[in-house]
Structure 1
């Protein structure tokens, strides 16, 4: 997702709806466990839980859905639009509009990357970054930072919060090096894990300064963010070298003398740190629509399936994993794992089938996908959308979806519980959108919550 275009709790799993819980301050007696109201506050109790959708919740009819969506889908602000709506429980298509036409998906492409990662990797999978010794005979004191595919290492000092939750720290590597018995005199960086170009076809180099992407290298600091505590930070053009310079600084060495390693090092390991678990990284990537994280996770899928750790290898791995899981990949033409490339093409059918695979009974490994997408009016890139108006008709809290935004491009792929209690999956793609394109797309998706549609 491009920042330049930035202008529920339902369906955590199929047939489940999270109960809304009000929390009040209470004082519990240690001996009895009984609750007592604090002075000046009435006692309020809550019974949190997950409530199953009624088995009697009717499925919308095709005719009812078509009638409900006829007006919003015709909004000229949507431009070139396609869409599909499916019943989550049965997998039956309820509505479609040009759903097999390949269009530019923008960041909804990350839905495919997430689904494939959950199929190919353990949800607790971590990425390891190491430091090894160079040949101490010819290069005494030289240590090599070896990129393992973790782009969100942090240079923040111990005790200081990191930009990315659970990020490994450069200072921990430096501490381990000091204890290794080697006195470091210089730092090199090995970026050989990734192959092929570091910038994808269809990416705009201006997006580096715009803060949307960095050259994909196998070790970075804060995903290449130059100012990690600034939301709109530009990205670096030399992220691997920056990581090496951060390590040199932590070791008290001159960061200006850091160089790329001429060959993969073969010396002994001096230090290692690990990333946050995959599920946490997916949650951060999907909620913030982080392009660098998406590209690195796509490469993890490539590595796990024996493919080149490159743009092409990641695309091949992701599409093949999903195809093997029964997702219709007809019309898919992808050049990256993030959706930033203007050359990417997907159909609404493919996007909806990815969500449907996560919601249905046949691919339980993909189920966490439903929990890592933003919540309408509540989190991530949907935190300020589907808000306002009549709360009884609002999708806020009931709709979860991955967003996509590029210039004149808007998309949504996700899941919603309608007002009769039926869980639906959906995907909408809008290309060549008008000035109110995003609003028009939200209006289209918002109908799914309230229409009833002849059930």
Structure 2
């Protein structure tokens, strides 16, 4: 449906009102840092573009509004001719713009060249996991009876299980709680002699050999284990995540039981062990939203392993990346062979702008609720997640509420991929990769200027 543009002052006032409401509601966020930085993220479901941009009054039933026209490729090229050469982009920009409905490529600038996607790689993981898992499904964490008086904490791969005390929030909304596991155990009168952690769902190294040495432990990444609390944090309030998050989680269970001195170790649950307690994560759609809004690497790697499990592949870095590639290929998007992790944290990940734009066209144009949840979970320009403080100055305010996109930042690399409504309401998918930059903020400003031009077509 065609949409009209609100006057700038009115649009700004509406955004300010919505933002104030969000702050009052106490929305929380997480972030992705290093020269691997995506900015603090709100975990609130963002408003639709129509909520921020405004819509025309519905036409009478007998006079339906004709579909908006597809922009001409020549018009798109002309609109982007200046901003695509901005100095802040460094010496190379790779880009593609596609009409979501028809698949028509409207702009191609080296789009098939494999390059470092940074955190826009999370779009591939998001689409793949929601293609193989129902959006309402959840991840279970269990406690079963061990031997010799032990209990076994069995990981299902939920990275958001929180060790926050009952009644207090952890880093992630709607998370399963360690305190609930402890309460179930107390009600069953379980008095363990020790706690064993069963991480056997995952295989391979817990830290990717493709990551930089400083990535773990850091405030944006931990070791990836099937049992962990609070995104790999040993304590919910910790800034730095853990290199041994599985054992840290076991210590948190001991603490929740009121017995912090209980010994902990890793091991396997007995075959057909008696179940003692179970909690479940937020639905997959919410986990994907939290990953995208906060550019959370730990959630991303955990979700890639969920794809591997569904595809009967090893739940490892290699298996997860291979599973994501296989699922997307079946859906008609060729991601190439260069993805080596699920988060984009590896400098040697290689994905083309065409693949990123293809994933965005897939999820934006899909009638499947699961896949559509990828687009609806994205940060909104000037409003939420890693785009909360972008598109808020100068002419770029034009695109506030109109652009939904995933950001990505590594040293020398800045990326942006998502969707945008043009002036007539036509939905476009785009991917922008500046992979030879010198200043992150300058690159982000230049990428935002390109997205703004697309909104102004």
Normalised by the length of structure 2, the TM-score is: 0.85
CA contact (8 A) 2:220 2:297 kept: yes
Aligned to 1:28: none
Aligned to 2:427: 423
SS at match of 2:165: coil
Aligned to 1:198: 206
SS at match of 2:83: helix
Q: In 2, distance between residues paired with 1:250 and 1:227?
A: 12
- Deviation track 1:360-399 (CA, whole Å, cap 9, x = no partner) reads 25766422211011000000000000112247x6110000
Q: In 1, distance between residues paired with 2:328 and 2:112?
A: 17
Q: Which has the larger radius of gyration?
A: 1
Give the 5 Å matches for 1:287-366. Answer: 287-330=293-336, 332-361=337-366, 365-366=370-371
Q: Does 1:432 align with 2:432?
A: no
CA contact (8 A) 1:54 1:421 kept: no
CA RMSD of superposed structures (Å) = 2.6
Q: In 1, distance between residues paired with 2:452 and 2:189?
A: 62
CA contact (8 A) 1:17 1:50 kept: no
Q: In 1, distance between residues paired with 2:75 and 2:449?
A: 17
Superposition deviation, residue 226 in structure 1: 4.2
Residue number among 55, 59, 80 corresponding to 2:70 in the alignment: 59
CA contact (8 A) 2:161 2:175 kept: yes
Change (3 A) 1:54 1:213: farther
Q: Does 1:283 align with 2:320?
A: no
Superposition deviation, residue 253 in structure 1: 2.3
Q: In 1, distance between residues paired with 2:130 and 2:196?
A: 34
Superposition deviation, residue 47 in structure 1: 12
CA contact (8 A) 2:196 2:265 kept: yes
Residue number among 235, 243, 263 corresponding to 2:241 in the alignment: 235
Q: In 1, distance between residues paired with 2:395 and 2:75?
A: 22
CA contact (8 A) 1:192 1:264 kept: no
Aligned to 2:125: 113
Give the 5 Å matches for 1:152-231. Answer: 152-229=160-237
Superposition deviation, residue 163 in structure 1: 1.7
Change (3 A) 1:388 1:77: closer
SS at match of 2:299: helix
Structure 1: runs of 5+ lacking an equivalent: 23-45
SS at match of 1:368: helix
Q: In 2, distance between residues paired with 1:341 and 1:441?
A: 22
Structure 2: runs of 5+ lacking an equivalent: 1-30, 40-44
- Higher percent of residues as helix: 2
Q: In 1, distance between residues paired with 2:226 and 2:206?
A: 10
Normalised by the length of structure 1, the TM-score is: 0.85
Change (3 A) 1:183 1:47: farther
Change (3 A) 1:212 1:361: closer
Q: In 2, distance between residues paired with 1:320 and 1:56?
A: 35
CA contact (8 A) 1:151 1:293 kept: yes
Aligned to 1:78: 89
Q: In 1, distance between residues paired with 2:59 and 2:229?
A: 39
Q: In 2, distance between residues paired with 1:118 and 1:327?
A: 15
Aligned to 1:26: none
Aligned to 1:39: none
SS at match of 1:221: coil
Aligned to 2:13: none
- Higher percent of residues as strand: 1
- Deviation track 1:57-112 (CA, whole Å, cap 9, x = no partner) reads 22211111111111111123313220000111211111110001111000000000
SS at match of 1:4: coil
CA contact (8 A) 2:231 2:299 kept: yes
CA contact (8 A) 1:133 1:144 kept: yes
Superposition deviation, residue 313 in structure 1: 1.3
Residue number among 121, 143, 154 corresponding to 1:131 in the alignment: 143
Q: Which runs of 4+ in 1 moved over 6 A?
A: 46-53
Q: In 2, distance between residues paired with 1:402 and 1:441?
A: 12
CA contact (8 A) 2:195 2:262 kept: no
Superposition deviation, residue 305 in structure 1: 1.6
Change (3 A) 1:444 1:222: same
Superposition deviation, residue 228 in structure 1: 2.6
Q: In 1, distance between residues paired with 2:282 and 2:256?
A: 22
Change (3 A) 1:406 1:356: same
